[in-house]
Structures are given as structure tokens and as C-alpha cells.
Structure 1
Amino acid sequence: MLRYVGSVFAGVLLIGGISGWAQSQSDSQTAPPPPPAAGASSAQDKARPDYQPAPFTFRAESRVVLTDVTVTDSHGNPVRGLPKGAFRVFDNGKPQKIDSFQEHSAQPGEKAEPIAAAASGNTFSNAYLKSLPPTLNVVVIDISNLGLSDQMYLNYELTKFFEQVPLNQPIAMYLRAGSGCFLVQDFTADRSLLQAALRRAIPRFPPTGREWLSELDTMHRLAISLGQFQGRKNVIWFSGGSTLFSGDWWLMDNYSDWRILYDELEQERIALYPVDARGLGMTPHVGQHMLMAEMAQATGGQAVYNNNGFKEAMTRILDTDRNYYTLTYSPSEFKRDNKYHKVRVEMADGSHYQLSYRQGYFADGSIGGTADLIERPRPRTRILSDGQRITLPSLGDQQIVFKAQLLAADSPEATQAKVNATIPAPKSRRGSKPYILRYSLPFSDIVTTPGSGQENGLQQIKVAVASMQLSSVGTPLEKRAELVQLTTTDQNAQAGAGRVILIDQPVNIGKDDAYLYLGVWDQTSGRTGTVTVPIPGAKR
């Protein structure tokens, strides 16, 4: 039996995780421990039938350079089956010893689970996390500098691509329609969901004041958002060129900001594929294309411009980058001197293959893209009230997989169901209707702690739930976040498998609300879970 103790207001972040809610709590509350660094093999990976243990594990005591290399032949086809000895690596012109080597090859017929949504359209989940492939693909549609006619053509080309996207390649879609960049479709291989998300995203009028917009902040937010996923992330960025060329040229000279960004993208293993969605035109855009090429070269991607075949470009990128090689090395005589180190990878036998990889890094103390390879901390031990010791795995980097239902506040399902906690309703919002968000959290994913005082002999549960309604351009319209405190017995805590914790959160849904951003957070373990979904029946 669970007993509801109460709820406390908590702050909310739109992008980049929700563990930051702890910052708004009182000093008497215990903040969660920082999430441990991601390991080479997560429990989620080990559950995969084709799981193979990674052949390398490194500590962060010295600089380890990780380089993902894609190899293609003269026809653009991926080259598979190359051994470690086929590659040579140079750091500032000096040959390096390859410490570890791994080939990543797409498995034919491998399917990815689409984002979970009930047939009624009012149940959402992040269950897709259980079946993500080792390489993720993200489409960013940036209309900040893209006219309506170009948007319509891009819509046409991507619609054709989504009609035949392979079922084993889930894709997420973000929209940049102003100063922010928000998720319009989480990772899914469901073609109908991708096409619906595209129709919601474009075409629409570009934002005003574009000369003051900067890609730097957008890419920083995107890096934080994608940092929750392990492995390589390919970001295919469709735009009308950088908005930096619309404003003051001094912005281009602030290279230190770009350096920080490139370090961040390297650490999260994000490769940029800038695509000029204006296609092949009569007006030259030399400066913008040079910046696109630099961004791609700095992150291990490729730039696409002066090309109208966006469908073919997407197909080529996805086919090529599911097949790549991961090389790591420790630079000899390494010094943290903040200088740029140029990386060069070549074929040992002189084969004329096309190699794409991140071509440099800064010796500034960053761990680079090796976060996935750092050894995990040892599991923690907890003592129950009866003196029994239990071991807790280090799970701070694994998301909580949860479900949420959106129910009309006066529906029988909302009023008659038994739940573990009901949060007080917010003030009504003009032009909105009351709804209930019912969160369903797996008991086995929540860590309990021994109670004290009047709760001695019981186990405490502290979880936060949050919701934010967004407009069609990503503007926050209403947000709520509460820390819910529950108690249960030791016996219930140890027998939590298969059980769920139900929490009702009243919200107001208005006519301009287009998307829901939902999050949960276990304050004890630091684990979080998030999902962004379109509101059923919402207008674009």
C-alpha cells in the first residue's frame, strides 16, 4: 500500500533533462547525486539480442580521442569488413597507436519500436528507448532563414523519403521556427507519424528578427537534449543558410564560442550534416556554404548544397552512417595546452576510399566523445530499516520508461479510477479546458529510502512529474512541476516488480496548445524520463 504524503512545487526545464528541478527545492531537501558517466555497455544494450560487449573500457585519467569513421567507395556505398590494420591515425602529423577498434554494421531486418501511442491517441510513452539502434538520426527543419516556396519543396522531398524510410531506422524531428528549437516528433520508424509531424512543421511563415538569431544556442540546446542517448548521433540540418550572415559580421569572428560548441558536440558524439534547403539556385551563397562545410568537417559529418535531391541525400546519409568504424587512441606526449590538434585518418594500403570523421580537437581537458567508454562507478549499498542491506545499480544515465494518459477532467476514467496521488488543480486559464495527466511509473524503476520520525519503518518515495504545453512554434504556454512524496512498507518496496505508481496531475489545455512535454524524475536515484508528443486534435 502506498500513502500520499504531499507535493512540493518544482521548477522545470524545457530541453536538456529535468534533473535541474532540484535547484528550486529548499535546502532541507536532499538533491540527487549527479548521474554517473555513461558506460560502454548499458543494461538497455545488454537486453538486445544482438548485443556484443564493447572491446574497450577507459578511465578518464588521460585524454582518449574517439573517432567515428565512415568509409565509402567511389559510388558512395559503405565499405564494410575492414580490419583494424587497414587504418592509420595521425595526431598533428605524428602516427598514433590505435588502442581499440570496433566496426558498427547495420543488421538487415532489425526493427525498431515506434514511439508508443494508444489507438485512442491519448496515451503516450517513451518505450521506444528500449529498442534504439546504436546510431541515431535526427532531422532539424530550420525555417529561420527559409522562404515558403523552399519549405514547400522541402516538404515534398521529405514526404517522398518518409514514404519509404526503412522500418529499422527510427528518426526524430526538431523544428527551429525562431530563437528556440523544439521536438515535434520523438524517435520513431512509423512512417505515418513522421509524415504527420512534417505536415505540422512546414510550411509556415519564417520568423521576424532573424538577423538576431544564432545557431550556437540552438545547437547547444540540441546537444544537451541528445546527450541522454548513447552512441553516435547524426543531425541532418535543413536550413536556408546561417542567420549569422544576416546580422553583424563580428559574430563570425567569435571563434571561442564555436570552439566550446565543437567540444560539446564531440563529447556527445554528434555529427552535423548541414543541408542547404534552397537547393540549386542562381544566387551564390559562398560564405554560408563555407560555414556549412566547416561545421560538417569539425564534427565528422558532410555538407550538402547546390543540390535539389534532398530525398536522395537523406537516403545516402542514413545508409552510409549506419556503417562506420570507431577508433580510439591516446595521443603520445599529450599536453593540456588548449591548442588545436589535427586528426588525420587514412587507409594503410593507400586505397582511394572516401573517409569522413571528426578532424580535430582542442587539448583543453575535455574528455571528448569518450563518455560512453568511461568505467561506471561501483553500485551503491543501502540498508533497510530492519538492517538488511541491498545493492543499488548505477542507473542515473538510464531513462525511466513511463506512460501518461491525457483524460478529460470530467470523464469517468478520470474521476473513478484509484490513483496513488492527486496533485491540486492549477488556476483556470482563459479559453482552456481542464484535463488530467495520469502518469504510470514502474515501481521497480523507483528507488526508495528509509523513513524517519513518524515514518520510521516505512520506505519513502520522492518523484517529480512535470508537464509543459507548447504552441505550434515551441512557445511555452503553461508549465507545471511538482515533487510528490509517498510512503510504503519494506515488503511492498521489495515486491515492486510488475506494479505501477499512478499520479494524477490536472492541467489546462487551450486552443493554441499544440505539443505536450512530459517528464518524470526520481529524486533519490537521479533518473529521469521525458517524452514530447503532439496534443491529440490540436491545430498546427
Structure 2
Amino acid sequence: MLTRSLLTVLVLLLSSSFFTASAQSQPQNQPSANPPYTIQVSSRVVLTDVTVTDRKGNPVHGLPESAFRVFDNNKPQGIATFEEHTGTPAAKMEPAAMRAGEYSNDYLLHLPPVLNVVIIDIANLRITDQMYLNYELTRFFEEQPEGQPLAIYLRAGNGCFLVQDFTSDRALLLAALHKAIPRIPPTGREYLSDIDTLHQIAAYLSQLPGRKNVLWFSGGSTLYLRDDAELYDDPAMWRALYDELEQERIAVYPIDARGLTTYSSLSMFAQQSLMNETARATGGQAFYNSNGLTEITDRVLNSDGSFYTLTYSPHDLHFDNKWHKVRVALNEEGYQLSYRRGYFADGSPGGAEQPQKTGTRTRLLPDGEKVQVPATRSLPIIFHARALPASDPAAGSATKLTVSIPALPPKKGNVPFSIRYSLPVDAFTRQTVDGQSAVIFGVAAVVLNRDGRAVDAHAERVTMTLNEDVARLHPDIPLAFDQQLNLKKDDQYLYLAVWDTTSGRLGTLQIPLQVPKIAK
């Protein structure tokens, strides 16, 4: 049985050594004229999201560009661009009408400008505190009208995994919350690191544009994320994490789910100090010593869409891997500012997003070597998948396809599941194979248990030949093929990934499972 985290398994599956099969078909569609959304950087552009609040914690609106001053390593900088965001509109995400067992990641086409993610971290959270957090978030979802979409992640150990993808449906969020907690905290949690969790969240959100706010409910932070990375004994060890958080514009809001406690200790003070450091390092805000978790959640979600975005290009910047301190000040006093406090001068593009047809960037490695690396962002592949027990009448009556990944041999105690993929042909790079037009892509299916652990995984390399006549007459017909998996009663999630083997463009979809009992 596999015990790796989802991201570790997916990385292994993306390697060519895990491809095990190929298929042939004659599908249907035309390549899109829309290129992938990537990043190209020739000089360092620093993007800083600044939240300004008054003494009562309310967002301050209407400040002009002239009110802000920006310093890079104490040197004043000229602001290149300036934009005020006055709040995320309530963008209700209605799920597309689908038949039973069908799922899609097309919600990615309708995301709001600011994304909010909830992490429920039980690594250091007792059962009683989990029950209180469950009560408070239940009250929040029941009392608040449907509006901003949320995603819920659970960190039950080393792994952090998705419980509910972005949705504004409060019933789905409630069901995900009650599925996540309460549960017994993991053993050996004194050895767990919050660093892995942030790496995983950054990877999960890497294909989503804009600012992301992470509401991190925990029993106190163990992450030593400084707002001044220069103070580390070995700053190079932390560069990747700081680069990822900056690149993805992730602001962390640590929230102590233990509420107001009647006791205090040096350990608790240290945890609260670390929460403040994490918030300052990423441009968020820390909350602790409060029983009003519902009110805190409401305040963050209703105000974190109000901020100012500033960009500047540092004068005489040398890519030397060193930490650069960023300071933002106002000409007026009495306001509280939250923003990312620095970056590493290593060639990372940061949050400077700009659409380009192609692009690479120069990255400075720790040993001083310069390398050209491909641009890191592309549009995710939007696709559909249907997952049903093979015995389901809907699966049995579906149109038979000429392309199917070879079925796995049946296993005793397992239930055969039929997975049908429907992929857009214009998401893949066309190439010539044996004199015919074709696309080559990878597909992976990872089975997760209730703790987000990968218990089974399969990957295939699929080659599909294209019938150009069919593609010309029916450009909207997708690439379709079948896969059969053997699932157990305790399997609770199915994580699907498809990617173009040429461009690296990726699409993912997580499906909740309800595996029926084995028929006698």
C-alpha cells in the first residue's frame, strides 16, 4: 500500500518511467488559437499587495498612488503600476448541470479575482478544539448567504489534501467540513513541519491567477517563517518556499482554533509569535486569543478583497540570491499596513503576471550557475470525467468507445469502477506520428483514503491519432476514452490528472467516491 502524499505520488507519475500503456483513436477537434498563459521576465518586477486598515481593522479605500512610498533595501523606488481593489464581488458559482457520477473542473473558468482557501490543520489540534472549530464554521456556513467561493483543505499529518474544491454552495462546504473533522490527531505530530504544508498549498494553487488568501485554522504554528529571511543561518534553504509564496501571491491568515484560553505558557506565546511572523512574511494577519472564530472568518472573507497592488523594478538590481527587504509606508499616520516583507534576488518572476505566447526565464542557482527554465504558468486543461461502478446501468448503457486503457485484472474485495474521460483536443500539442496527425498526453489516477494518503496509483501514456476530416466537420467533439480501476470500500477520493507531454500543460480533477458494498 502506498503511503506517500498526493503530490509526491503525482510527481512520480509525471515521470516517464511510470507510463505503462498507449492507445490509438481518431478523435476530433481543432487546435485553439489561444496560447497558454505563461510568464516571461527579463528584469525583476516586484509586485506587492498592500492591505490598509484603520484602528478598528476596517479596510481603508480611496488612497491615491501619491500616498504610498516604497523602499527596497531602504532605497526609495518609483511605483510603476498602481491599482486599488475595493472588494471581491459575490461571485456565486453555480455547478453545471451534470448527470450522476459526472464531474468537471470548469469552475476554473469563472473564478473571482481573489481566492479564499480554508486549511483545517489538526496536527496540533485536540478533539475538543476540533469540535469547537466544527461548531463555529458550521454556524458560519449556515448563517452566511452564498457568495464568495471557498475551497477546503485538510492537514491531518504530513499531507495536506483537498476536501472540497472551490464552490459557493454552502451545503457542499458544510458536508466537507463535517467529513474533515473531528478526527483523531496524527501520531508523532511533534516531528511534523508546516513547511511541507505551504509547499503543497503553493503547488495546488499554482495554476490559478491572482491573489490567494489562506485561512489557516490550527492549534498554533510550528513554522519558523520569518518576515526577514536574512536572519536565517542558511537562507538558501528557504528560498524555494519564499519564491513559491511570492509567485502565487499567497497571503496566510493564521487563526488559532483553540480560541480564548484560560492558561498561557511560553510555548503558546512562541506559537503566537510564529503566527505573527508568518502573517507578516506573506502579507496576511494573525488571529489568536479569541473565541469568535465565526466573526474572524466573516471579517477576513469580507475584507481581504480590499487592497492595493503596487509594482516596481528595483534600481541597479543584481541577481545575487540575496534577500531584499521591502518596506511600504504611507504619508498619513494611524493606519496598519500588511504586505510581503521581502524577496530573494534569484530571478524568480514573483507576482508579475503578464500573458506571453512563449517564454523562459533566467534562474540563478545556489552555486551561481544561470539556467534557462520554462515559464511556470499555463492555462489549466478543462475536462470532464464520469466515475461510476462498472455495474451501474448508466455505465453499462454508455456508448462503447474504440479507445480504452487496458483494464486492470480484478481483485478480490475490490469494486470495478469505470472512468470515462472527455478532453478538449485543442489543449494538446499536435504532432506527426507514423505520418499521421496525433496528440500524446499522460493520464494519472490516484486513489486517496480519508486521510488524503495515496493508497493506489496508475499512469498511462496515451497516443491518439486525429482524423482531420472528422475534426473539420465536428470541431466540438472531445477526445474520449475509458479507464477501469479497482476500488475498495474505504477509498474516498479519486484524483485525476491529464497533461500534455510536450508543453507540460496540466489539468486536475478530484472526485469524491462512494464505493458500494461488494455484491454477494
**TM-score, normalisation: structure 1:** 0.81
Report if aligned partners of 1:116, 1:126 keep a CA contact under 8 Å in 2.
no
2:380 pairs with 1:399? yes
Alignment of 1:227-238 (within 5 A): 227-238=206-217
Q: Deviations over 1:117-144 (max 9, x none)?
A: 7463x11110110100111111111101
The match for 1:265 is 245
2:7 pairs with 1:15? yes
Q: Give the distance between the partners of 1:470 and 1:26, measured in 2 at CA.
A: 18
Letter of the 1:212 partner, please give it: Y
Indicate how the Cα distance of structure 1 residues 460 and 131 shifts in structure 2: closer, same or farther if over 3 A, else same: same
The match for 1:334 is 317
Alignment of 1:318-329 (within 5 A): 318-329=301-312
Indicate how the Cα distance of structure 1 residues 81 and 519 shifts in structure 2: closer, same or farther if over 3 A, else same: same
3-state SS in 2 of match to 1:422: coil
Q: Give the distance between the partners of 2:395 and 2:236, measured in 1 at CA.
A: 53
The match for 1:209 is 188
Displacement of 1:432 after TM fit? 1.7
3-state SS in 2 of match to 1:264: helix
The match for 1:88 is 69
Q: Give the distance between the partners of 2:357 and 2:12, measured in 1 at CA.
A: 22
Report if aligned partners of 2:12, 2:18 keep a CA contact under 8 Å in 1.
no
Displacement of 1:374 after TM fit? 6.5
Q: Give the distance between the partners of 1:107 and 1:182, measured in 2 at CA.
A: 25
Indicate how the Cα distance of structure 1 residues 524 and 362 shifts in structure 2: closer, same or farther if over 3 A, else same: closer
The match for 1:133 is 112
Indicate how the Cα distance of structure 1 residues 260 and 462 shifts in structure 2: closer, same or farther if over 3 A, else same: closer
Q: Deviations over 1:55-94 (max 9, x none)?
A: xx99522222110011222332222233222211112222
Equivalent position to 1:423, from 405, 408, 412: 405
| Bigger relative contact order (CA 8 A; separation at least 6) | 2
Displacement of 1:494 after TM fit? 4.0
Report if aligned partners of 2:206, 2:377 keep a CA contact under 8 Å in 1.
no
Which moved further from structure 2: 176-185 or 414-423? 414-423
Q: Give the distance between the partners of 1:522 and 1:364, measured in 2 at CA.
A: 29
Report if aligned partners of 2:36, 2:357 keep a CA contact under 8 Å in 1.
no
3-state SS in 2 of match to 1:505: strand
Indicate how the Cα distance of structure 1 residues 145 and 77 shifts in structure 2: closer, same or farther if over 3 A, else same: same
Report if aligned partners of 2:141, 2:170 keep a CA contact under 8 Å in 1.
yes
2:138 pairs with 1:159? yes
Q: Give the distance between the partners of 1:510 and 1:244, measured in 2 at CA.
A: 36
Displacement of 1:236 after TM fit? 0.9
Q: Aligned-residue CA RMSD in angstroms? A: 3.1
Displacement of 1:424 after TM fit? 1.5
Report if aligned partners of 1:116, 1:124 keep a CA contact under 8 Å in 2.
no
3-state SS in 1 of match to 2:209: coil
Displacement of 1:312 after TM fit? 1.1
Displacement of 1:21 after TM fit? 4.4
Which moved further from structure 2: 150-159 or 321-330? 321-330
Report if aligned partners of 2:390, 2:416 keep a CA contact under 8 Å in 1.
yes
Indicate how the Cα distance of structure 1 residues 305 and 137 shifts in structure 2: closer, same or farther if over 3 A, else same: same
Report if aligned partners of 1:443, 1:497 keep a CA contact under 8 Å in 2.
no
Equivalent position to 1:523, from 468, 491, 501: 501
Equivalent position to 1:24, from 13, 16, 20: 16
The match for 2:25 is none
Q: Give the distance between the partners of 1:435 and 1:469, measured in 2 at CA.
A: 12
Letter of the 1:301 partner, please give it: G
Alignment of 1:177-216 (within 5 A): 177-216=156-195
Which moved further from structure 2: 317-326 or 193-202? 317-326
Q: Give the distance between the partners of 2:493 and 2:449, measured in 1 at CA.
A: 7
Equivalent position to 2:153, from 167, 174, 184: 174
Equivalent position to 1:305, from 283, 288, 293: 288
- Percent of aligned pairs with the same amino acid: 51
Displacement of 1:235 after TM fit? 0.9
The match for 1:389 is none
Indicate how the Cα distance of structure 1 residues 43 and 508 shifts in structure 2: closer, same or farther if over 3 A, else same: same
Displacement of 1:504 after TM fit? 0.8
2:273 pairs with 1:295? no
2:440 pairs with 1:459? no
The match for 2:417 is 435
Q: Give the distance between the partners of 1:430 and 1:83, measured in 2 at CA.
A: 68
Q: Give the distance between the partners of 1:70 and 1:477, measured in 2 at CA.
A: 42
3-state SS in 2 of match to 1:287: helix
**Long gaps (5+) in structure 2:** 22-33, 225-231, 360-374
Report if aligned partners of 1:177, 1:207 keep a CA contact under 8 Å in 2.
yes
Q: How many residues align?
A: 476
**TM-score, normalisation: structure 2:** 0.84
